[in-house]
């Protein structure tokens, strides 16, 4: 039966090829929606690991998380250094990392922080940052580049860069009178860290003219390097205290602040975006159905041309069940080949675009075997193709032998 079906499909290879391409593209789109969702969630979850709380000025938790960790959007307000010191000195706090944002280098975000960032920041499964070249900055007017930032800027150890005010690709003014020396390059992490430029907090104030410029760039950061910061990462000695401390910071009397737990805020973000995911899934399903209906249309249209073929098969001994099985087998072969082609197309596009996506968004799309959800989706496509094939198969089954053998004038 399979051999006969393959020969029959080969006789109509042009129309069959077009059908395979249509279904393959739609299957690739259907699988891409699931894969993008999984990869984005995994990358977001891997970006910050081991941080119990993130604090910053009063804003929405999602905005604070996206700006402070993922460098998406911007913070319109700041929190005072005094508030940061008071909170970080609490007995529940194990470590704290201040972060100041709002500047960029050729569109790449500048993260002003201190040596605590390098010591305590974790990503993926609590992996620490590593340097491939040079050292972490130990004075003002020094910068450490993420792996992707080093490649995009074309800078290495000993080169100089200029910080511009503004972020998100919008630079309002460049501080050319304050060149920054590159002293280190971080190993690739697959997180937004790769696209960031890290400098000392004192450097930002010097660039903005808020503190006296250290022309030699060899003095260590002051104990009070800045007046305000954008956010801070906190690690707690006892993890269950996070919820209580979060409530206390959210009702902080000295100034309005926001505290969030990264994992919980990410879950809320995915729930917010769930309606868009469902819309994309709905569109993908419709595209797949259109491809399958195209296959159904071609099979139905070919029945009139194949009446004599079916009649000859019946005349040489093929029963109605054989005719029925032939049409179903043809449709299944087309659907399975198209689904496999769609999976191959997905991997090809992912391999070709993964570097571009990572450089533009900071999201690393890794290649891995199909997930259970993806196998289910491909299985449903094959099942849908089988069910639709029953329509032309039933019509061929009912087609009479004499109708095929009689020449109509």
**pLDDT > 70? residue 215:** no
Give the span between the Cα atoms of 277 and 271, in whole angstroms. Answer: 10
Beta pairing, strands 197-200 & 142-145: antiparallel
**Out of 19-33, 265-279, 389-403, least confident range:** 389-403
Q: What is the pLDDT of residue 306?
A: 66
At residue 248 the predicted structure's pLDDT band, cuts being 50, 70 and 90, is very high
Between 158 and 165, the higher pLDDT residue: 158
Other Cβ atoms closer than 10 A to 269: 16
At residue 400 the predicted structure's pLDDT band, cuts being 50, 70 and 90, is very low
Rounded mean pLDDT, 121-134: 87
Q: What is the pLDDT of residue 249?
A: 93
Half-sphere exposure of 298 (CA within 13 A, CB side): 22
Give the global pTM: 0.68
Is the Cβ–Cβ distance between 335 and 292 less than 8 Å?
yes
**pLDDT > 90? residue 146:** yes
Angle at 150 between CA 218 and CA 140, to 5 degrees: 15
Q: What is the pLDDT of residue 213?
A: 54
Q: What is the pLDDT of residue 311?
A: 64
What distance, in Å, lies between the first and last C-alpha atoms of the chain?
33
What is the tens place of the pLDDT at every residue in 336-394?
999 999 999 999 988 888 777 766 665 667 788 888 888 998 998 899 888 888 887 77
Q: Mean pLDDT, the chain, as a whole number?
A: 81
Between 301 and 288, the higher pLDDT residue: 288
Q: What is the pLDDT of residue 327?
A: 77
368: exposed, middle or buried (C-beta count within 10 Å: 0-12, 13-18, 19+)? exposed
């Amino acid at each position: 039966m399979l051999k006969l079906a393959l020969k029959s499909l080969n006789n109509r290879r042009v129309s069959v090829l077009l059908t395979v391409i249509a279904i393959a593209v739609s299957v690739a789109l259907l699988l891409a929606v699931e894969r993008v969702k999984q990869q984005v969630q995994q990358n977001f979850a891997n970006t910050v690991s081991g941080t119990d709380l993130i604090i910053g000025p009063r804003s929405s938790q999602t905005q604070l998380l996206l700006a402070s960790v993922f460098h998406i959007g911007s913070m319109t307000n700041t929190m005072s250094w005094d508030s940061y010191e008071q909170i970080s000195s609490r007995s529940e706090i194990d470590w704290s990392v201040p972060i100041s944002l709002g500047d960029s280098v050729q569109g790449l975000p500048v993260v002003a922080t201190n040596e605590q960032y390098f010591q305590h920041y974790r990503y993926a499964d609590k992996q620490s940052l590593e340097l491939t070249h040079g050292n972490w900055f130990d004075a003002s007017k020094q910068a450490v580049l993420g792996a992707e930032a080093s490649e995009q800027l074309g800078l290495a150890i000993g080169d100089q860069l200029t910080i511009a005010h503004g972020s998100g690709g919008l630079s309002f003014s460049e501080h050319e009178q304050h060149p920054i020396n590159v002293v280190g390059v971080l190993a690739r992490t697959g997180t937004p860290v790769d696209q960031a430029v890290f400098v000392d907090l004192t450097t930002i104030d010097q660039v903005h003219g808020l503190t006296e410029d250290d022309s030699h760039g060899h003095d260590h950061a002051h104990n009070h390097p800045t007046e305000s910061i954008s956010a801070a990462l906190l690690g707690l000695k006892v993890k269950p205290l996070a919820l209580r401390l979060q409530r206390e910071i959210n009702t902080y009397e000295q100034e309005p602040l926001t505290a969030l737990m990264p994992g919980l805020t990410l879950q809320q973000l995915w729930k917010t975006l769930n309606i868009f995911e469902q819309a994309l899934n709905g569109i993908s399903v419709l595209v797949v159905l259109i491809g399958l209906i195209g296959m159904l249309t071609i099979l139905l249209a070919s029945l009139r041309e194949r009446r004599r073929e079916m009649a000859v098969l019946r005349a040489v001994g093929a029963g109605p069940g054989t005719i029925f099985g032939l049409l179903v087998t043809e449709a299944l072969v087309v659907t399975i080949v198209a689904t496999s082609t769609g999976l191959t197309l997905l991997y090809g596009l992912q391999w070709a675009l993964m570097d571009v996506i990572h450089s533009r968004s900071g999201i690393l799309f890794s290649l891995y075997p199909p997930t259970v959800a993806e196998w289910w989706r491909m299985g449903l496509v094959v099942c849908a193709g089988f069910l639709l094939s029953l329509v032309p198969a039933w019509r061929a089954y009912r087609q009479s032998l004499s109708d095929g053998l009689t020449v109509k004038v």
